[in-house]
Amino acid sequence: MQRSIFEPEHEEFRSAVATFCDRTAAPNLEKAIEQRVFDRDVWRQAGEQGFLGLEVPEEFGGSQADDYRFNMVFAEELAKVSMGLNSSMQIHFDICAPYLVDLGTTELKTRLLPDFAAGEKVAGIGMTEAGGGTDLAALKTTAVPDGDNWIINGSKTFITNGYTGEIIIVAARTSPEKGARGISLFVVEEGMPGFERGRKLEKVGQHESDTAELFFNNVSVPGENLLGEVDSGFIYMMERLPQERIGCAISNLAHAKQAFLETVEYAKEREAFGKPIGSFQHLKFVLAEQATKLDVTQAFMDECVMAKINGTFSATDAAKAKWWTSQVQNDVIDACVQIFGGYGYMNEYRIARAWQDARVTKIWAGSNEIMKELIGRELGF
Ligand SMILES: Cc1cc2nc3c(=O)[nH]c(=O)nc-3n(C[C@H](O)[C@H](O)[C@H](O)COP(=O)(O)OP(=O)(O)OC[C@H]3O[C@@H](n4cnc5c(N)ncnc54)[C@H](O)[C@@H]3O)c2cc1C
């Protein structure tokens, strides 16, 4: 179905991103899968083209688009080539940037954002701890004042860009007695004594994105690395989670669409009983169902993005977009694997990898159970 939300400048931007994906991201994918991270040079090339600074004001070296359709286009094109690169770059440009830009001191922004936008420094965000990710308010990492500084102790796990990132936003408890209202956000930087990384975690999929445990042993963080006000961290996270969720939803759908298109081609070429497998009525119907799900979901996502631009996109809308797209993505790709037959189970086939890459989207950015909980609450339960 023809999409109607884009202007010529978005199409131009899409072709620039597609060129970056063809010339830089795709040729580096196998190496990244092997080493469990993309080379920094890939980030630098994205930075040079202004892709990583979409949320960063020009005065701090960014390209400040102020139009979420650009974020959408960048995420869609990345997801087509690599869900792992998409996750790593989306955490950086779309999720971490608003925290740094909205809540950072001028000193912090002047010091970090030019390198952030250039891809010289990579960012991650550490909310989840080994003891639990869903119940964010129960986090145990602490930050206590020490003169003008803060001393951070604790650990985080499953952190995207955790192994190589130089800028990590860390949620820590500053007022133990105040529950959710006692959490603050800090920027922990590469090289701060006591900040250590665990091993790169072995995931089921998205091997090309780096995911790690982080440890903070008496890390002394200067006062200017506190983001916003003390004890307001939980509110800041809740305010920014809708953007994280719409970003994930965009990627989920783009990833599924790409897998679907590749499957349609396969179903035209692969023959059984002397004819293309796609011409068997059952497979034709399965493909028709997936095409419909994708188009209907795309219409919803485009509407979500326009609502975000117009300021009417709600946290509940974000919850719906996140759970629905991740379910559609997993259902569509599972159907695609079936159509590939045994080849669909072979790692050398993109469809097998896509299936592995997709599974996590029902778990992260707030699990689908929590998304439904949020929607249910708005229904009055
Ligand atoms: C590859 C990967 C990358 C990640 N990147 C990051 C990152 O960059 N930064 C970061 O901070 N985190 C990151 N995460 C963590 C992710 O957000 C968490 O895994 C997720 O929030 C779930 O937390 P948990 O794993 O502790 O599961 P738990 O909180 O232990 O939940 C386990 C199960 O219980 C369910 N559950 C819990 N509470 C309820 C409830 N009230 N009602 C119904 N069901 C419930 C959950 O839905 C889930 O199915 C990443 C995770 C992965 C796998």
Q: Look at residue 14 in the predicted model and tell me its pLDDT.
A: 98
Q: Could you tell me the distance, in angstroms and rounded to a whole number, from the CA of residue 363 to the centre of ligand 1? A: 6
List C-alpha distances in Å: 325 to 43, 93, 163, 294: 27, 21, 28, 9
Which tens digit of pLDDT belongs to each residue from 140-197?
999 999 999 999 999 999 999 999 999 999 999 999 999 999 999 999 999 999 999 9
Site to substitute for ligand 1 among 125, 238, 364, 381, most atoms within 8 A of C-beta: 364
Q: Look at residue 199 in the predicted model and tell me its pLDDT.
A: 87
- Same domain? For 242 and 226 the reply is no
List C-alpha distances in Å: 240 to 52, 166, 245, 324: 18, 21, 9, 19
DSSP state of 129: B
- Same domain? For 205 and 133 the reply is yes
Q: Could you tell me the distance, in angstroms and rounded to a whole number, from the CA of residue 132 to the centre of ligand 1? A: 7
CA–CA–CA angle 295, 209, 360 (5° rounding): 50
Number of domain units in the chain? 3
Pocket of ligand 1 contains residue 83 by CB under 6 Å: no
What is the CATH classification number for the domain harbouring 196?
A: 2.40.110.10
| 3-state secondary structure labels for all residues of 20-41 | HHHHHHHHHHHHHHHHCCCCHH
- Same domain? For 116 and 226 the reply is no
Q: Which atom of ligand 1 is nearest to the CA of 368?
A: 47
Which tens digit of pLDDT belongs to each residue from 222-276?
999 999 999 999 999 999 999 999 999 999 999 999 999 999 999 999 999 999 9
Tell whether 3 is covered by a domain.
no
Site to substitute for ligand 1 among 36, 92, 158, 362, most atoms within 8 A of C-beta: 158
In terms of C-beta density within 10 A (0-12 exposed, 13-18 middle, 19 or more buried), how is residue 308 classed? buried
Q: Compute the distance between CA of residue 133 and CA of residue 322 in angstroms, rounded to an integer.
A: 17
- Same domain? For 261 and 369 the reply is yes
Which tens digit of pLDDT belongs to each residue from 317-354?
999 999 999 999 999 999 999 999 999 999 999 999 99
Domain final position from 214, 231, 248:
231
Domain final position from 96, 122, 148:
122
List C-alpha distances in Å: 63 to 59, 67, 224, 308: 9, 11, 24, 19
Domain final position from 231, 246, 274:
231
Which tens digit of pLDDT belongs to each residue from 12-54?
999 999 999 999 999 999 999 999 999 999 999 999 999 999 9
Catalytic residue among 244, 269, 303, 348: 244
**pTM, full prediction:** 0.98
- Same domain? For 104 and 178 the reply is no
Q: Could you tell me the distance, in angstroms and rounded to a whole number, from the CA of residue 87 to the centre of ligand 1? A: 16
- Same domain? For 157 and 110 the reply is no
Q: Could you tell me the distance, in angstroms and rounded to a whole number, from the CA of residue 368 to the centre of ligand 1? A: 10
- Same domain? For 134 and 245 the reply is no
Q: Compute the distance between CA of residue 327 and CA of residue 342 in angstroms, rounded to an integer.
A: 23
Which tens digit of pLDDT belongs to each residue from 184-222?
999 999 999 999 999 899 999 999 999 999 999 999 999
- Same domain? For 245 and 352 the reply is yes
- Same domain? For 246 and 366 the reply is yes
Which residues constitute the domain of residue 67? 8-122
Pocket of ligand 1 contains residue 157 by CB under 6 Å: no
Q: What value does the mean pLDDT of the chain take?
A: 98
Tell whether 2 is covered by a domain.
no
244 is catalytic: yes
